[in-house]
Structure formats: C-alpha cells, structure tokens
Amino acid sequence: MGNGSSFDSSKQVYLMINGSLEKIVFSLHSSTRDVQELICQAGKVNRFSQVTLRNVDGAYVTVSPTIPQNDENHAYIAEITPPNLTDVSVSNPSTDLVPVQIMEQLAREMSSRYAKPDEVNTGELLDRVKTLENRMDVEGLKAVDIDVCKKSIDTIKGQIYEAQKKFIDYNRLRDGSGLPEIGLPSKRGPSVPHYTKYILSKETIEYLKQPTFDIWHWEPNEMLSLLEHMYHELGLVREFNIHGVTLKKWLLCIQENYRNNPFHNFRHCFCVTQMMYGMIHLCKLHESISKEDIGILITACICHDLDHPGYNNTYQINARTQLALRYNDISPLENHHCAVAFEILSNPETNIFANCDTETFKRIREGITTLILATDMAKHAEILDLFKANLKEGNFDLTSREHFNSLKMVLIKCCDISNEVRPMEISEPWLDCLLEEYFNQSDKEKEQGLPVAPFMDREKVTKPTAQIGFIKFVLLPMFEEVSKLFPQLHSVMVEPLRKARDHWERLKEQDDELRHKQEA
C-alpha cells in the first residue's frame, strides 16, 4: 500500500493546442470521457470533437486517465477536429457528427424538401431519428443539448407526420398505426433521449443488494439502469404510478445536475443509493414500512448532493457565497440540494410523482427534505442522540412518527458516509477522491485568506490520520447503534469498520516509526 503519509490522486498533463501551451488537471479516478472533455475545453471547441494526441517523437498517445504525466518541455501535441457538416446528406449522415448538429441538418433538409413531400423518404428519416435518440444516450448529452434535440425531433416528427398524411389513410394515422414505432407526436408526447437498457444477470441483481458491491466497475449508463431497476424491484414504479419514460427522463436529469467533482459527483450519488438499497433488503425494511417511505428513502439518496459545488458549508459561510446568503448560513448546501431536487420535480416531464395526489406529494416532499437536510454533518450529534434516546426506551416503535423519522435520518446518514464499510479496495479510492476535494478547498481558502480546517490541509493530513478519528468517533458509534435495532448489520457493517480502523492504526504506527527513525 505504500507510505500512508503520501497522497497524490490527481495528474497534470501539458498539451500544445494550436500553438498554445495548456495544462489540464484531472483525478486518477476520472473516466476517459472526462479527460477528453477537459482537452476540448482547453481547446475551446465542442466537447464531442475528435481528439488525437502525439508525443514529442510523433507517436500516438492514448487519451485516457492512464496517459503518462509530462512537463512543459514534453507537452503532447493535441489535434482536435470539431464535427463538420460539410457534404453530409440525410440519407447517409456521418457517424462522427454529434446529435445536436445532425438534428440541425435534418431540420434544414426537411425545410428544403417539405414543399415536395413525395421526395421525402419518411422511412429513412424515422429510422435516422430513432438512431439519433439512441446516440443521444450513448453520447450523454448535457441538459441544454437534450433540450435542443428534443425540440428538433418534435419538429421533424411533425413534418414527417404532415408529409405522410398525404399518402397514408388518415384513419390509420389517427390511432398511430400508420407510423412505424414512433407514433404520432400528439398522442405519445415528445420523444426523449434514453440510456441503453442493460439486461441484468441474476448474479448482478443479488450483488446489487450487498454492501460489498463494487461501484467502480460501472459506467454512467449502467448506473442509470441499476437505479431504474431499484425503482421497479422495490415496487415504487407501481406504487407511485410512474411512467417509464418519466423515470428515465428524471434519472437523466438527475445525472446531468451532478457536477464533475472529485468526490461529490453522480457516482457518489449512486454509491449512497446502492447502500440504502442494500440496507433496505438486509434489514427487511420493505416488509415493515410502507412503499411510500421506501420511495422517500431511495429518492432522497439520489437527490441528496445535487449540484454540489465541491466546497463545503464552512467555505460557503466564510466566503459569504450566494448560497450562504440565500439560506442565511443555515445548511446552505443541503438546502440547495433540496431546491434543485424539487425544481426538477416541478417539471411535468421529470416529475416521477406526477400521478400522486396532493396530500401524498406533500408527505413525499416533507420526507425527502427532512432526509436531505439531515445529511449536514453539523447536525450529526443531534440526530444520533435522538436516535439513541429512542433506542434506550427499550421498545423502538416503527409506528411512532418520532421514532421512525429518527431512524430514517440515521439511515441516510449511514449511507452517505458508508464508504469505509466496503472492502478496502473499494473504499480507499473514495478516500483519495475526498482528500483531493478537501485539498482543493483548503488551497482556495489559503488564497482567499479564509480559515483552513486542519483535516483539509494537505500539509497536515495523512490518510491514516484522516481515517482513524472519523471511524472511531463518527462511523462506529453510529453503526453500532443501528446494529442494536438490526443485529444482522453487525457482521456486514460494524465488523468491517473495526477492521478498517485497525488497518489505518497499523499504518499510522508505521508512519510514526519511520518519522522517529528519520528524526533520530
């Protein structure tokens, strides 16, 4: 494992782009796409542009997080080719084009040929639109791109419909049977991008319920499918009468509203939700509480860090940011996460609770808000003390509103900071990501003359010192209390935490011995 005091989870790479020297910095846990987007951003071009790298010897270099680090004198030469629409026809569009640009092209073609509908090959156009919808999933467009494509698709479908009306019996069109698969826009609503639907094996379905689930092996589209599976498997789709397309739209919108931070990102959202899903099954909560409450627990986990900026509440307050001013220094981040969550749910196209009655939605909103606000670590002692007091009464009552609310708050807190429950090979990369985010904040605080927390200072923190106190004084006391109510969690959560504590204490002892030898 190496010396516990050393830490470097980011990489910096120098690039020569159009004669200008640029530097990009990215996490070792970034994806290939993250790196490519950074290069495009440095080159000030469309993020779907084609990127080719060569070293100083002219050899091609793979664009990925494993790219060898270099210096200014050995900068990689970046060749960036933006998508080009020149000489591309609708019947044979280039696969290199990004969906937004192809949609613009299709719209132009339809406009120019709409006066002669008999010349429009509607079958080809419909097939192309369907292909584009699939491409939009694979490319993972940003919300603004999705909106542009949706509008263009609606326009094109409307034009196709008008063209087909001239040649197909209108009675067949009226019920949608005259159009292949896509149907009439007026009857089925606007088409939406959808991510690839993965067929989950029985092994994966069972593995998904375990605290040992390795969240690093899954791509964004796969995580979306796994989250979608949870809503179906837990009976939430039926309970809330969620339309399948709405669920997909909502999940895509959620994903787009998580920033690309080292730690507080969409993968963290998935990680927390997966742990909650596992705890629901391990504790058999789905047998003892309502599906409405299950839905609140899962949805709160998915939304709990929406649009996290990568700087914590202390920074927001000390720097007097807009968030701190807006929420009067009271849990500014958690209040913001709630606001973003319900802004998304205010859109009919992404409101998974649209078919709930007013009173049900009011309970859901209250429940989700309470849980997201509970993830503020400033409230940790207060929430845990309340849960412990309820346990001490000797008869924890799930039918008691006070008891049940305290349990739900503790559960989401457990899931939010549960990384150390997982095997070391899964949890340690999360520690790297968290420290990277902490160090980014402390560097900024030093630049701005703001107070710096010792546990965020790269000059004072080591992995062992970061972990030991957190496990001993935050994680273990909380998980031990929860395991009193659910003894089945002791072997799968409490014991792994104790082993993790012992592991980091051994590393600290090694560090101390090495330091003493160096000082002697």
480-509 tens-digit pLDDT? 999 999 999 999 999 999 999 999 999 999
Please check the confidence at residue 79 and state whether its pLDDT lies above 70.
yes
Higher-pLDDT residue of 24 and 417 is: 417
Task: Give the CATH number, domain containing residue 283.
Answer: 1.10.1300.10
**Are 335 and 230 in a shared domain?**
yes
**Are 342 and 491 in a shared domain?**
yes
Strand 76-81 to 20-27 pairing: unpaired
Please check the confidence at residue 237 and state whether its pLDDT lies above 70.
yes
Q: How confident is the model at residue 205 (pLDDT cuts 50, 70, 90)?
A: very high
CA nearest to 132, candidates 114, 146, 142, 144: 146
**Are 75 and 103 in a shared domain?**
no
Burial class (CB in 10 A: 0-12, 13-18, 19+), 271: buried
Residues 6+ apart with CB under 8 A from 367: 293, 296, 300, 408
**Are 153 and 227 in a shared domain?**
no
In a domain, 89, yes or no: no
**Are 171 and 257 in a shared domain?**
no
Strand, helix or coil for residue 275: helix
Among 188, 216, 239, the domain-final residue is 188
Mean pLDDT of 350-370: 97
**Are 116 and 157 in a shared domain?**
yes
CB atoms within 10 A of CB 191: 21
**Are 138 and 250 in a shared domain?**
no
**Are 22 and 155 in a shared domain?**
no
Please check the confidence at residue 327 and state whether its pLDDT lies above 80.
yes
Chain-centroid distance, C-alpha 235: 23
Mean pLDDT of 144-170: 50
Q: Number of structural domains, the chain? A: 3
pTM to 2 decimal places: 0.67
Burial class (CB in 10 A: 0-12, 13-18, 19+), 492: middle
What's the token pair of residue 171? Answer: 């009675």
Task: Please give the pLDDT value at position 29.
Answer: 67
Among 161, 188, 215, the domain-final residue is 188
Q: Which helix (H) or strand (E) holds 52?
A: strand 50-54
In a domain, 4, yes or no: no
What's the token pair of residue 499? Answer: 């082993």
In a domain, 88, yes or no: no
In single-letter form, the type of residue at position 380 comes to H
In a domain, 40, yes or no: yes
Task: Give the CATH number, domain containing residue 42.
Answer: 3.10.20.90
Strand 60-61 to 76-81 pairing: unpaired
CA angle 36, 38, 44 (to 5 degrees): 105
Please check the confidence at residue 92 and state whether its pLDDT lies above 80.
no
**Are 283 and 432 in a shared domain?**
yes
Percent of residues, the chain, with pLDDT higher than 70: 75
Q: How far apart are CA 364 and CA 370, in angstroms?
A: 10
Dump the DSSP string for 123-180.
HHHHHHHHHHHHHHHHHT--HHHHHHHHHHHHHHHHHHHHHHHTTS-HHHHHTTTTSS
CA nearest to 409, candidates 429, 448, 454, 379: 379
**Are 347 and 451 in a shared domain?**
yes
Give backbone dihedrals phi and psi of 70, rounded to 5 degrees, phi first.
-135, -170
Q: How far apart are CA 510 and CA 72, in angstroms?
A: 36
In a domain, 247, yes or no: yes
Residues in a beta bridge with 53:
61, 78
Q: How far apart are CA 182 and CA 197, in angstroms?
A: 18
Sign of the CA dihedral running 322, 324, 328, 331: positive
In a domain, 281, yes or no: yes
Q: How confident is the model at residue 156 (pLDDT cuts 50, 70, 90)?
A: low
**Are 147 and 281 in a shared domain?**
no
Please check the confidence at residue 151 and state whether its pLDDT lies above 80.
no
Task: Please give the pLDDT value at position 44.
Answer: 83
Q: Which residue has the tokens 């470097």?
A: 8
Chain-centroid distance, C-alpha 58: 37
> 395-448: per-residue pLDDT in tens?
889 999 999 999 999 999 999 999 999 999 999 999 999 999 999 999 999 999
CB atoms within 10 A of CB 81: 11
Q: Name the range with the highest mean pLDDT among 19-23, 377-381, 389-393.
A: 377-381
Cβ atoms of 53 and 63 closer than 8 Å: yes
Residues in a beta bridge with 76:
15
Task: Please give the pLDDT value at position 142.
Answer: 43
In a domain, 193, yes or no: no
Average of per-residue pLDDT values in the chain: 82
Q: How confident is the model at residue 95 (pLDDT cuts 50, 70, 90)?
A: very low
- Which residue range(s) make up the domain with 357? 202-507
Q: What's the full length of the chain, in residues?
A: 520
Among 188, 219, 246, the domain-final residue is 188
- Is 264 marked active-site? yes
Q: How far apart are CA 174 and CA 171, in angstroms?
A: 5
Please check the confidence at residue 124 and state whether its pLDDT lies above 50.
yes
Strand, helix or coil for residue 21: strand
**Are 289 and 430 in a shared domain?**
yes
In a domain, 520, yes or no: no
Q: Which residue has the tokens 């993830």?
A: 375
Higher-pLDDT residue of 5 and 354 is: 354
Residues 6+ apart with CB under 8 A from 146: 136, 192, 193, 252, 256
> Which of 194, 264, 304, 308 is the catalytic position?
264
CA nearest to 279, candidates 263, 264, 301, 258: 301
Task: Please give the pLDDT value at position 127.
Answer: 54
